[in-house]
Chains A and B, each alone.
Chain A
Amino acid sequence: MKLSKKVVLLGHFGVGKTSLFRRFIDNEFSEEYKVTLGVQIKKKVIQLPNNTEVSMIIWDTEGHSNTVEDTRKSYLLGSHAFIYVFDVTREDTYKNIAQDVNYLKQQYDKVSIKVIGNKLDLINEKTAVKNLKEKGIDFDGLTSAKTNKNVQSFFLDLAHEITEE
């Protein structure tokens, strides 16, 4: 069975959405920060064990400065999953996460929403988890696009989940 699933990367600027995008699609990483303007789209085909071939169409959107509501609505059209990315070292990228996720749930109730903290290479994982828990931040995973930690497994799990729906 062949399926096509649209996944949109959302979140503040500089949290590493493009790095995750590049790591997942091309297994590449660059230390250089380059602003994403608008949206760039790439496809990666994943073969799932249940004989399903999923074309993951990843939309890497321009980061917002304030709230996810600033993201152009047409970019979100026809999505199967949103990945809300934050930077584990920058509180301003996750302090409004609950409101942003709530907004997305209300507007796109059928779309799967995942929250991940990136840049785990900059901080000890235990410290990051403790810090986020203390601040009441709910998240689905922590990744490092730089070291490739948890990146491939996260996208693979997501592909499983959205093809089962």
Chain B
Amino acid sequence: MMADPNEKLQFNPQVQIITVSYQGVIKKTDTSLFSWSIGDSIYDLHPFFEILKTLDKTTTTYEALNFPCIHLEEGHFEKICDLTIQPNAKEITIYVYDYTDKYKEVNRIAQEKNESILLAKKLELKNKYLLEKEEFKNSFIANINHEIRTPLTSILGFVEVLEKTQLTFEQEELSRIIKRESLHLNALIDDMVDIAKIESGTLKIAEERFSFQDLINGFRETYSKTAQEKGLIFETHVDTHIQEYLIGDRTRVYQILNNVLNNAFKFTEKGEITFTVSKNYQRSNKLSLTFKIEDTGSGILEEDMLYLFERFTRFNNDPQISGNGLGLAIVNNLVRLLNGDIKVKSIPDQGTIFHIKLPFTFEILKSQVPQKRKKYSLPDHKKKFRILLVEDEEITQFLIMKVLISQGSYFVDVAIDGEQAIEYIEKRQYDLILMDLIVSKIDGYKATRMIRNNYGDSFISEVPIIGFSATADDGVRDKCLRSGMDDFIAKPFEQEELLYKIVKQIAKKAAV
């Protein structure tokens, strides 16, 4: 950025020559650039000249010093100058060359260059910040999810226990409300976790064979009941050419359709809701289906349609209608993840029609035999089976013990951490271990690996282990199985499901 001395003539700068004493007093000067006067102390005119104090009067060399591109101000005016300071034995001569115009031009170019670099860096930082924020949000949601699900498991579990006791009508009603609200809270957590996963790109789409007929029948049964309760007509029309078994992500398809059907019922007070499934095309083992859900409800205003799929959007402020504003945002995202398409038409006060197109595949050759859940029973009905429950939270311990002991077929020991679990299995023979994944000292995964690998005694090393956790992540089940567990159950669990899994593992072990 410095002016080349050879260019000085070319730019024809104005020059001011000043002679000062070693005490800094101006002895000679013109006023070509600055109106400085003879007798002035140069140190008072500009702080730059303090540099003169460092010059040694007794030096033998008297080398000239060059200071390019110095900003010199006088009052409100500023000039950008090159200065040459030439000392000799008696005095110092200062040559001030004014290059303001040239430097301002150079400045413009440097400004543009630096600005573009800084802008790129700023964007990079902003992006990094957003990513970190996203990561924090997701981990926050995951933690909150875990923290809420654990007490929720207890609430739901104890309500189920309570329901089996002698209750008055009022108590039954209250317990039904607690259960309904807890399930609602659970659904809300599911929605929040789903949205977080979708946004972070960690939601995995499964490819599984499932009974399409069962899925549709499930909706038919559930919503026929709802329709009856609300005095609505619910009709389903399903193309009979659709394969009974399809391959796709059953859970997500259910979630999409259930959300839209649920909304249709929520916002329809009279008339009917029609659920139609038709085949668009079928090629090789691929097919595309359209799900049409049509209601005669309150409809959506045209201006609201733009925000229909945004998070936390609710158009209806009726406090009687529950909802968190996440449902359709999840639906829209899931449809996209499944490579489908969603369209909405609505007329206020007349109704809404959702068209959802989703792709599936199906097996061409394999026989499409329904896979019913296999029934298991305990190998010996007279014997009591001993179960080790590894769980650090007292309330969950109490709940599971109550559920198991009420069956009359189990003894239950409780270990509060992985280390204690290892101590117990070395002392006593267990028929099954229920292992919480997140316990202190040694976690559930590590404890399982130790049980599987460190003991020659097959009673210990082959004991069936079922992991359980409030972290219902997609990978948790896989991680459990990889660590050597036989099964996994997510909190909050249905008592029946827990008992089914326990009986299944004990029966399988006995059959070996």
Q: A77-B51, A78-B51, A90-B121 are in contact. Are A37 and B1 (CB under 8 A)?
A: yes
Residue contact B67 to A74, C-beta cutoff 8 Å: yes
* Interface assignment of B393: CB less than 8 Å from any CB of chain A: no
Q: A37-B69, A37-B106, A41-B46 are in contact. Are A14 and B111 (CB under 8 A)?
A: no
Kindly state the separation between the CA atoms of A4 and B44 in the bound complex, as whole angstroms: 13
Residue contact B71 to A41, C-beta cutoff 8 Å: yes
**Cβ proximity bits B50-77 to A, threshold 8 Å, 1 near / 0 not:** 1101100000000001111111000000
Residues of A within 8 A of B475 (CB): none
Residue contact A41 to B70, C-beta cutoff 8 Å: yes
Residue contact A14 to B117, C-beta cutoff 8 Å: yes
Residues of B within 8 A of A37 (CB): 1, 69, 80, 103, 106-107, 110
Residue contact A6 to B103, C-beta cutoff 8 Å: no
* Interface assignment of A75: CB less than 8 Å from any CB of chain B: yes
Q: How far is the CB of A122 from chain B (nearest CB, A)?
A: 7
A34 and chain B: residue at smallest CB distance: B111
Residue contact B103 to A38, C-beta cutoff 8 Å: yes
- B50's partner among A4, A63, A75 (CB-CB below 8 A) is A4
Q: A38-B1, A77-B51, A77-B65 are in contact. Are A33 and B70 (CB under 8 A)?
A: no
- A33's partner among B48, B50, B51, B118 (CB-CB below 8 A) is B118
Residues of B within 8 A of A41 (CB): 46-48, 70-71
* Interface assignment of B125: CB less than 8 Å from any CB of chain A: yes
CB contacts under 8 Å to A, within B85-139, are 103, 106-107, 110-111, 114-115, 117-118, 121, 125
Q: How many residues of B contact A (CB 8 A)?
A: 28
Residue contact A72 to B121, C-beta cutoff 8 Å: no
Among A40, A63, A122: residue with most chain B CB under 10 A: A40
Residues of B within 8 A of A6 (CB): 50-51
CB contacts under 8 Å to A, within B9-51, are 46-48, 50-51
B108 and chain A: residue at smallest CB distance: A35
CB contacts under 8 Å to B, within A52-98, are 55, 57, 62-63, 72, 74-75, 77-78, 89-90
Residues of A within 8 A of B47 (CB): 41-43, 55, 57
Residue contact A39 to B69, C-beta cutoff 8 Å: yes
Residue contact A72 to B2, C-beta cutoff 8 Å: yes
Kindly state the separation between the CA atoms of A90 and B121 in the bound complex, as whole angstroms: 7
Residues of B within 8 A of A63 (CB): 114
B2 and chain A: residue at smallest CB distance: A72
Among A33, A35, A78: residue with most chain B CB under 10 A: A35
Residue contact B71 to A40, C-beta cutoff 8 Å: yes
Q: How far is the CB of A15 from chain B (nearest CB, A)?
A: 10
Q: A37-B69, A37-B80, A38-B80 are in contact. Are A77 and B125 (CB under 8 A)?
A: no
Q: How far is the CB of A46 from chain B (nearest CB, A)?
A: 14
Kindly state the separation between the CA atoms of A90 and B51 in the bound complex, as whole angstroms: 33
Residues of A within 8 A of B107 (CB): 35, 37
Kindly state the separation between the CA atoms of A35 and B103 in the bound complex, as whole angstroms: 12
B50 and chain A: residue at smallest CB distance: A57
Kindly state the separation between the CA atoms of A74 and B121 in the bound complex, as whole angstroms: 31
CB contacts under 8 Å to A, within B131-169, are none
Kindly state the separation between the CA atoms of A21 and B121 in the bound complex, as whole angstroms: 23
Residue contact A33 to B2, C-beta cutoff 8 Å: no
B125 and chain A: residue at smallest CB distance: A89
Residues of A within 8 A of B118 (CB): 14, 33
Q: A14-B118, A89-B125 are in contact. Are A38 and B53 (CB under 8 A)?
A: no
B110 and chain A: residue at smallest CB distance: A35
* Interface assignment of A13: CB less than 8 Å from any CB of chain B: yes
- B54's partner among A42, A62, A78 (CB-CB below 8 A) is A78
Q: How far is the CB of B43 from chain A (nearest CB, A)?
A: 8
CB contacts under 8 Å to A, within B265-296, are none
Residues of A within 8 A of B67 (CB): 39, 72, 74-75
Kindly state the separation between the CA atoms of A122 and B47 in the bound complex, as whole angstroms: 33
Residues of A within 8 A of B106 (CB): 37
**Cβ proximity bits A87-113 to B, threshold 8 Å, 1 near / 0 not:** 001100000000000000000000000
Residue contact B110 to A4, C-beta cutoff 8 Å: no
Kindly state the separation between the CA atoms of A37 and B70 in the bound complex, as whole angstroms: 8
Q: How far is the CB of B303 from chain A (nearest CB, A)?
A: 37
Residues of B within 8 A of A78 (CB): 51, 53-54
B117 and chain A: residue at smallest CB distance: A14
Residues of A within 8 A of B53 (CB): 4, 78
Q: How far is the CB of B474 from chain A (nearest CB, A)?
A: 30
Residues of A within 8 A of B71 (CB): 38-41
Other A-B contacts than A41-B71, A89-B121, 19 sampled, CB-CB below 8 A, are A6-B51, A14-B117, A33-B114, A34-B111, A37-B69, A38-B1, A38-B68, A38-B103, A41-B46, A42-B47, A62-B1, A62-B69, A72-B2, A72-B67, A74-B65, A74-B67, A75-B67, A77-B51, A78-B51
The 13 sampled A-B contact pairs (Cβ below 8 Å) are A13-B117, A35-B111, A37-B103, A38-B1, A38-B69, A39-B67, A39-B70, A41-B48, A72-B2, A75-B67, A78-B54, A90-B121, A90-B125
Shortest Cβ-Cβ A-B pairs, 10 listed: A38-B69, A78-B54, A43-B47, A40-B71, A35-B111, A14-B118, A35-B110, A37-B107, A41-B48, A57-B47
